[in-house]
Amino acid sequence: MDIAPLPDVYRHAPFAQDCAPRRLLRLFSGKWTTMIVHTLHLTGGTSRPGQLQRALPGLSKKMMTQTLRDLERMGLVEREIMQVMPPVVEYRLTQLGQRFVEPLEMLYRWGAQHAALLDQVDRNMATADDVRNAS
């Protein structure tokens, strides 16, 4: 895999607080942020809260609500309340959110293709924890 060289701006002040790579990593640093965006992408960009929660085992209602609100504030997700009885709420990726799917999906694909490497990392961590706990 060829990686394009970084633009000159990064050579002069590598990874300053406000540089684009750090801002992107901060954006995706929340565990549920990436999973919710990924799940919305897989469902065609739209999902109801119950569907999201069922698709993401371990996601509490409180954390889902908080993450969806954060994604709304960022402009990556929008909430639509349909005026039916009972009211129906749907979340969908905005155009901006759809643009952020591309790098995220690249990470998900890489993880799926390199699961053995991730397994090795898990084994390394377990071994290090065993050694630390034994001492």
Q: Where are the domains of the chain?
A: 8-100
Sorting pLDDT into bands at 50, 70 and 90, what band is 27?
A: confident
Looking at residue 19, what is its pLDDT? 81
Other CB atoms within 10 Å distance of the CB of residue 35: 19
Class of domain 8-100: mainly alpha
Looking at residue 77, what is its pLDDT? 97
| Dist CA 34 CA 40 (whole Å) | 10
| Dist CA 90 CA 16 (whole Å) | 37
More confident residue, 90 or 3: 90
Sorting pLDDT into bands at 50, 70 and 90, what band is 94?
A: very high
What confidence tens digit (pLDDT) does each residue in 40-72 have?
A: 999 998 999 999 999 999 999 999 999 999 999
Q: pTM, whole model, 2 decimals?
A: 0.79
